[in-house]
Amino acid sequence: MDLHYTDKQNDFRAEVRSWMADNVPTSPLESFDTQEGFEAHRAWERKLATGNFGMVTWPKEFGGRACTLIEWLIFEEEYFRVGAPGRVNQNGIFLLGPTLMEYGTDEQKAKFIPRMASGDDIWAQAWSEPSAGSDMAAIRTKAIRDGDHYVINGQKTWSTRAAYADWCFGLFRTDPDSKRHRGLSFILLPLDLPGITIRPIPQLNGQTGFAEIFFDDVHVPVENCLAGEGEGWKVAMSTAGFERGLMLRSPARFQATAGRLVELCQQNEKRVSGHVRRKVLDAWMDATAYTLATYQTASRLIAGGKIGSEASLNKIFWSEMDRSMHRTALSILGAKADLMSHAAGADGVGNWLDGYMFSLAGPIYAGSNEIQRNIIAERLLGLPR
Amino acid sequence: MNFTFSEDQLEFKEAVKGFLAGECTPEHLRKMVESGEQFSHARWQQLAEMGLTGILVPEAQGGLGMTEIDFILLAEQCGYAALPEPLVETAAIAVPLLKAIGGQEKTLERVASGSLVVTVADRRDEVVTTPKTDLMVLTFDGQAFRATENTSNFITSESIDPLRPVSLTDYSGAVLMEGDGTQDIWEKHEERASLMAAAGLVGLSQRMVDMSVAYAQERHQFGKPIGSFQAIKHHLASTMVAIEFVRPVLYQAAYEVTAGHCAILHTSHAKLKASEAAMDAAEVAHQVHGAMGYTYEVDLHLWMKKSWVLTATAGDQIYHEDQIDNLVMTGALDVGPAATFS
């Protein structure tokens, strides 16, 4: 065990810090769940790519820096320390990217990863269907082989970023006679193909972070299938591992929230009760614990380990921590907490309300926390199904 | 940066876990309770032969010359087994204190050989662990460190943990050191004691989950094992989440204590969260065991009571919350990202 950064890691931190100081937008961008904000965030992704910061863990030929996961954590810390914009391409860089690295052919990597790193392709997810939410193996949308194409028919929903994204990845049933986990394939496709209809879904904050995707005889080349026909479930579980276990929610994000919450508490010291004060301490302690746990996971992966069902422990921890931190902030703000972020008198505190609404989704997306608790009980503890 | 234990450290843990699984069984603990015994000389000698009593004692005094980070996983295993003998108190709390005081080579030799048990009266608590055996108690009254081997004048008390002999703290005894430097040594001791208690609580919590899993697989209601019901699964899963997110805090605290840094933020964080996880684990385990958990029919109560005791020992929850508050809320600390490691 050695809990010191190497000189190389410290140099890397200094380089990121200096680049961020020169390049991070001085005022916050509009939400990426609006058309204008989406394009502003794409421009930021392109800016990041000019510094080769699109995804630092990727090989240099794909636009990365061949960094270790520890350096990725350092990058994330510097990123959140200055409040840099949210990653509009998180589905791509944090979920599909690592999955492509593990399962993609050389051609697939060369085709998709550099454009992902550069912000040219922004990715949406296409997992859930109206009848396949927590029960993802109930997927019905078919992708039937016809020569060198799949013909897709059906419907996806809650597709994150699909309102404005360029491409999507998801699970489709390539064997129409198959049941449950078998006969599913992991397919990547552009969202402007003929036969695709996208219907944005207004969410809690009025914006369209997700959408429904309707497929009507959509033709997709067979080379867009990842890891072979029928292997979709295995690939999806790997993506879910990254999502729950490591990359989607890097610890620095929560440390930044906890830091702002401590400040908010200090500013309101006179009216904050002991109970609320303890909640603020919990925010700091939990964000710290999550950070340490992630350094442990990163160290283990660097040593050749794999992410397993313990990713479910992580997902529960960060999602419930995030909700609790924002709720605590709202309790400190009182009536001001309910002002819309752009409204008169909100003085910027509306960000906490936006954050709270977003945090309510955390225990649901990426596999609901009830499903995660089942996974822990059955696979880690060995309780009967 | 490498936040993993070495192969040697992990193997040592497995060896101790295996030893305790064979030599510190629930059946033996029950027998001890029935006969009013609170200390097994035979087991203490075995622990000494494995090098455990002298693990932090310098090699020159017959020890293994290892450090807190080498012991932390073992302290967890002592909790897991509900080991009644004060191995953690002696080997990982008293020994480093004796080393810091200096000039205690003879005492350290006796500890390493297994012929002396040493416990420390922690000023944050009112009582001290006092097995009626070859015992030395160290005290600090704010001015001087003292040692007494004659504890017969101590007022014996009684803990809810039937396997923990306790006395009220008595500040008599021969002075080992006084004046300059004692306060610093004492503060380090407090951090170490918090750390080791936290490790014990993590082990206790894990065992209570494991016992509950075993019980939930055996116990049938409505024609099924109760462990197949989500109500039971989700209780235990939540407890596992709490335990798994104490561990990295505990290990960072152990690392910082070993490095000799000021570690109070880390040790108090570990102790507070380990206490809460253990209290929760005990309540959940109790719920899963149903009425059986309310009796002596199952072993849960021994682990539950030890958890209560350790939660209140080496600084209670209010003490540790105060320490964290003092650092986090006063602006003394960089609380945002990029400040996790010193």
Residue A253 shares a structural domain with residue A225: no
| Same domain as A355, residue A293 | yes
Q: What percent of chain A has pLDDT over 90?
A: 81
Decide if A25 is inside a domain: yes
User: What pLDDT shows up at residue A328?
Assistant: 98
Please indicate whether, in this complex, the C-beta atoms of A381 and B237 are within 8 angstroms of each other: yes
* Number of residues that make up chain A: 385
- Residue range A98-105: mean pLDDT, rounded: 92
* Structural domain includes residue A113: no
End-to-end Cα, chain A, rounded Å: 38
Predicted ipTM of the assembly? 0.96
Strand partners, A110: none
Report whether pLDDT(A49) > 90.
yes
Q: Would the CB atoms of A277 and B329 count as touching at under 8 Å?
A: yes
Q: Is the dihedral of CA B53, B312, B269, B324 positive or negative?
A: negative
The minimal CB distance from A81 to the residues B228, B325, B336 is found for B336
Q: What is the pLDDT of residue A310?
A: 81
Question: Can you give the residue range of the structural domain that contains A40?
Answer: 7-88
A223 and A143 within one domain: yes
Residue B263, pLDDT > 80, answer yes
Contact check, Cβ <8 Å, A381/B248: no
Question: Which tens digits make up the pLDDT trace of A170-219?
Answer: 999 999 999 999 999 999 999 999 999 999 999 888 888 889 999 999 99
What pLDDT, on the 0 to 100 scale, is given for residue A218? 98
- What is the pLDDT confidence band of residue A104, given thresholds at 50, 70 and 90? very high
CB-nearest to A1 from B69, B246, B272 is B69
Beta strands in B37-155 (DSSP E): 117-120, 127-129, 135-140, 144-148
**Domain co-membership, A150 together with A53:** no
Residue with tokens 């990597």: A109
B5 contacts in A (CB within 8 Å)?
A: 1
Whether A177 and A293 share a structural domain? no
Supply the CATH number for residue A191's domain: 2.40.110.10
**Residue A347 pLDDT greater than 80, yes or no:** no
Q: How far apart are CA A132 and CA A199, in angstroms?
A: 18
The answer as to whether A258 is a domain residue is yes
In a domain? residue A106: no
Catalytic residues of A: 243
- Residues of chain B with Cβ-Cβ distance to A12 below 8 Å are none
Q: How many CB atoms lie within 10 A of CB B50?
A: 17
Give the pLDDT band (50/70/90) at residue A137.
very high
Return the pLDDT at B123: 86
Beta bridge mates, A183: none
DSSP-assigned beta bridge partners for residue B59: none
B267-306: per-residue pLDDT in tens? 999 999 999 999 999 999 999 999 999 999 999 999 999 9
- Looking at the structure, tell me whether residues A331 and A371 fall in a common domain: yes
Give how far A223 is from chain B: nearest CA, Å. Answer: 39
Residue A111 scores a pLDDT above 90: yes
Domain boundary pick from A182, A201, A230: A230
Q: How many helices (H) and strands (E) does chain B have?
A: 13, 9
Q: Does any domain span residue A270?
A: yes
State how beta strands B174-178 and A123-126 pair: unpaired
Q: pLDDT higher for A245 or B130?
A: B130
Residue-wise over A141-154: b if at least 16 C-beta within 10 A, else e? Answer: bbbeeeeebbbbbb
Asked whether residue A365 is domain-assigned, the answer is yes
**pLDDT tens digits along B207-219:** 999 999 999 999 9
Partner residue opposite A289 with nearest CB, options B6, B232, B249: B249
Residue A324 lies in a domain: yes
| Contact at CB, B6 and A376, closer than 8 angstroms | no
The residue to which tokens 């064979």 are assigned: B22
Residue carrying structure tokens 């049938």: B220
Distance CA B67, CA A50 (A): 47
Residue (of A77, A89, A12, A27) closest to A253 by Cα position: A77
Chain A residues with CB under 8 Å of B340 CB are: 255, 288, 291-292, 295
According to DSSP, the residues that pair with A226 across neighbouring strands are A186
Same structural domain for residues A197 and A265? no
Among chain B residues, CA nearest to A264: B329
Residue A62 in tokens: 């794909």
Quick one: closest CA in B to A285, which residue? B269
pLDDT at A245 over 70: no
Which of A170, A249, A174, A181 minimizes the C-alpha distance to A212?
Answer: A170
Same domain flag for A258 and A376: yes
Instruction: Select the residue of A77, A286, A316 nearest B338 (Cβ to Cβ).
Output: A77
Give the C-alpha separation, A235 to A244, whole Å.
14
pTM (two decimals): 0.96
A215 and A266 part of one domain: no
Residue B152, pLDDT > 90, answer: no
The residue-averaged pLDDT of B101-126 equals: 95
Q: What part of A 146-205 touches B (C-beta under 8 Å)?
A: none
Distances (CA, A) of A43 to A49, A93, A122, A224: 10, 16, 11, 27
> How do residues A52-84 score in pLDDT, each as one tens digit?
999 999 999 898 999 999 999 999 999 999 999
Q: What is the mean pLDDT of residues B307-324?
A: 96
Q: Quick check: B187 pLDDT over 90?
A: yes
- At A128, the pLDDT band (50, 70, 90 cuts) reads very high
Which residues in chain A are closer than 8 Å to B69, comparing Cβ atoms?
1
Q: Does residue A131 sit within a domain?
A: yes
Please check whether residues A304 and A226 belong to one and the same domain.
no
**Chain A residues lying within 8 Å of B288, measured CB to CB:** none
| Lowest mean pLDDT across A16-20, A71-75, A79-83, B151-155 | B151-155
On whether any CB of chain B is under 8 Å from the CB of A376, the answer is yes
Same domain? A277 vs A215: no
pLDDT score, position A257? 97
pLDDT band at residue A296, thresholds of 50, 70 and 90? very high
Select from A198, A230, A262 the last residue of a domain. Answer: A230
Give the CATH number of the domain where residue A320 resides.
1.20.140.10
Same domain, A257 and A298: yes
The structural domain count of chain A equals: 3
